[in-house]
Amino acid sequence: MLGRGLPHGAMVTQPECLFCRIVAGDEPAEYLVERDDIVVFKDKFPRAPVHYLVVPTSHLDSAHDLDADHRAHAVVELAIRDLKHGTGLNHCPSGSFNANAAWLLATTLAHNLTRWTQVLGAPQATSLINAKTFRRRLLTIPGRLTRSARRWTLHLPSRWPWQHVFEDTLGRLRALPAPM
């Protein structure tokens, strides 16, 4: 139980905060859920027949801190959404477990490669938040690849709106040191 010997009871930082005292076990409460990150308990003075309070186990001083905590969770949810809808993890192609395991591995690798390309090559592109948009704008290129004098050249359309972003991203990726 929280506040009764578990290590995360040490997270309580504000003894004057009623919720910190409840999390620490100093105030009586009827706990329904006790996890490392949240505590759910019945309200002492409910305004409805069923009224529960969900409280984080770490003290948050303001609504701004609570918003930052929720946004950190939203990043994880965005990654899950990208895995499902950006790389095709929302449907498995086969009834065979082994084929679906291979599909899972391939889609996860594609997702990670896309994310690392975005983080290392285009850190300023904050508008490219999901993998599908990044892939559509910078990886699916409307260009021609030609070879002349043993050298490959990529010809991009003159009015392509993402040309400068692509060139900057490619330059950053080429400037990375070679792995050892």
pLDDT, mean of residues 68-97 = 80
Whether 114 has a pLDDT exceeding 60, the answer reads yes
Classify residue 169 by burial, with Cβ atoms within 10 Å: 0-12, 13-18, 19+: buried
Work out the pLDDT band at 97, boundaries 50, 70, 90. Answer: very high
Structure tokens at 175: 């400037």
* Residue 145 CB burial class (10 angstroms; 0-12, 13-18, ≥19): exposed
pLDDT at 129: 65
Q: Write out pLDDT tens, residues 138-148.
A: 888 888 899 99
Cα gap 39→31, rounded to integer Å: 7
Reply yes or no on domain 7-56 having CATH 3.30.428.10: yes
CATH 3.30.428.10 residue ranges of the chain are 7-56
How far apart (Å, rounded) are the C-alpha atoms in residues 57 and 41? Answer: 12
